């Protein structure tokens, strides 16, 4: 008879020290938390843009009053400044949808995007509001919006060709930005139905994300990341 083999011993585990598997187990979840934190962090430069809008609006209003005379009432805020103010209210929604699109490409196509990639895309989104403010002082609100949207979307699309490694994926991002800016413009023009339009957009966006990821195995994604690490 063969001698009894000694039982296999598992690798010793040092108390208080997490295993490599546990350290990398929630990579996808951590990326989602990072995106949420980035959206909140980008509200700081957007707040500065809003302060600049208020300052320039008051300055222009004071100049108009000085030319019109002290007896005249203060003019109403200009439409361009109002558009910037109202569009900033939807900045969280806009950024969340764009970052969600990059995140979906990252997990479905097996890409790995760095925090810097998300940060630069967020910077381009912030430039949309700054360009809208700058162009709104020299152009009509509609033309200013189109110019700012085209400039920001073109910057993000060209960058997406490199980081997403596909013209098709970059074209999808361009289509998303086009639809997003188009819907936002309609929402800004529909003051009485802005809340309804914004809520409908959220439902459609969430439904699209749920549909695209309905068959995705999140646990498998985490396992693959652990194996490749």
Q: Cα–Cα distance between 131 and 96 in angstroms, integer?
A: 20
113 touches 163 (CB < 8 A): yes
Q: Using DSSP, state whether 69 is helix, strand or coil.
A: coil
57 touches 1 (CB < 8 A): no
Q: pLDDT at position 49, please? A: 92
Name the pTM for this structure: 0.77
Q: pLDDT at position 160, please? A: 94
Question: Tokens 């400044």 sit at which residue?
Answer: 81
Q: pLDDT at position 59, please? A: 81
Q: Cα–Cα distance between 118 and 217 in angstroms, integer?
A: 24
Cα separations (Å) of 134 from 95, 96, 137? 21, 24, 6
* Alpha carbon 132 to chain centroid, angstroms: 17
Q: Which of 197, 218, 183 is nearest to 103 (CA)?
A: 218
213 touches 104 (CB < 8 A): yes
Q: For the residues of 32-55, what is the DSSP string, one character each?
A: HHHHHHHHHHTHHHHHHHHHHHHH
135 touches 148 (CB < 8 A): yes
Q: pLDDT at position 23, please? A: 45
Q: pLDDT at position 219, please? A: 65
Number of C-beta neighbours around residue 169 at 10 A = 19
Tens-of-pLDDT digits for all 229 residues of the chain? 455 555 544 445 454 444 444 444 467 778 889 999 999 999 999 999 999 998 888 887 777 666 655 445 444 457 888 899 989 988 998 999 999 999 988 888 778 889 999 999 999 999 999 999 999 988 888 999 999 999 999 999 999 999 998 899 999 999 999 998 998 898 888 766 767 777 777 788 778 778 777 776 666 655 555 555 5
């Amino acid at each position: 008879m063969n001698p009894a083999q000694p039982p296999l011993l598992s690798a010793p585990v040092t108390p208080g020290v997490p295993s490599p598997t546990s350290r990398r187990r929630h990579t996808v979840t951590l990326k989602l938390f990072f995106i949420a934190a980035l959206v909140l962090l980008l509200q700081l430069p957007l707040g500065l843009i809003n302060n600049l809008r208020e300052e320039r609006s008051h300055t222009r209003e004071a100049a108009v009053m000085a030319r019109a005379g002290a007896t005249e009432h203060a003019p109403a805020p200009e439409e361009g400044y109002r558009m910037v103010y109202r569009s900033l209210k939807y900045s969280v929604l806009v950024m969340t949808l764009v970052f969600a699109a990059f995140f979906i490409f990252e997990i479905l196509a097996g890409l790995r995007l760095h925090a810097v990639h998300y940060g630069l895309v967020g910077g381009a989104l912030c430039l949309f509001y700054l360009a809208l403010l700058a162009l709104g002082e020299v152009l009509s609100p509609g033309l200013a919006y189109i110019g700012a949207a085209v400039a920001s979307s073109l910057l993000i699309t060209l960058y997406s060709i490199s980081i997403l490694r596909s013209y098709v994926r970059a074209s999808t991002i361009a289509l998303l930005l086009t639809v997003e800016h188009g819907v936002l413009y309609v929402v800004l023009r529909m003051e009485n139905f802005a809340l309804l339009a914004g809520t409908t957009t959220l439902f459609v966006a969430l439904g699209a994300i749920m549909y695209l990821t309905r068959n995705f195995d999140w646990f498998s994604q985490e396992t693959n990341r652990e194996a490749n690490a």
